[in-house]
């Protein structure tokens, strides 16, 4: 079952880089605005949302826990 990951509200990202450091498979800092973005291979309709496979669950959950502004959300997709 894949996981839905979102960075919401993305404009509250402070660009600290924790998510990229803890889960570089999924997160990157956008070269355009310096804010967190879902990497292109997992990206959905926008750079603030995407779907990742199960085996990245601990990675994205660690990133969510370590985000200082709590804007990374992870949920199971049915
Ligand atoms: S950990 Fe949170 S605040 Fe830091 S870059 Fe990632 S989304 Fe932005």
Give the chain's radius of gyration (CA, Å): 11
Domains in the chain, please, with CATH?
3-76 (3.30.70.20)
| Residue 30 exposed, middle or buried by CB count within 10 Å (0-12, 13-18, 19+) | middle
pLDDT in tens, 38-59: 999 999 999 999 999 999 999 9
What pLDDT is attached to residue 51?
Answer: 97
Q: Is 26 left (phi over 0), alpha (psi -120 to 50) or beta?
A: alpha
Q: Counting atoms of ligand 1 from 1, which one is nearest the CA of 70?
A: 2
Contact 44, 50 (CB under 8 A): yes
What pLDDT is attached to residue 78?
Answer: 75
Q: Please name the residue whose Cα sits nearest to atom 4 of ligand 1.
A: 16
Q: Name the residue of 10, 19, 73 whose CB sits within 8 Å of the most ligand 1 atoms, as the mutation to test its pocket.
A: 19
What pLDDT is attached to residue 1?
Answer: 84
């Amino acid at each position: 079952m894949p996981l839905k990951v979102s960075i919401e509200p993305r404009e509250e990202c402070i660009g600290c880089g924790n998510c990229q450091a803890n889960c570089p498979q999924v997160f990157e800092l956008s070269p355009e605005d310096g804010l967190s973005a879902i990497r292109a291979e997992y990206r959905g309709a926008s750079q603030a949302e995407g779907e990742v496979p199960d085996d990245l669950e601990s990675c994205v959950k660690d990133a969510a826990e370590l985000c200082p502004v709590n804007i990374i959300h992870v949920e199971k997709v049915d």
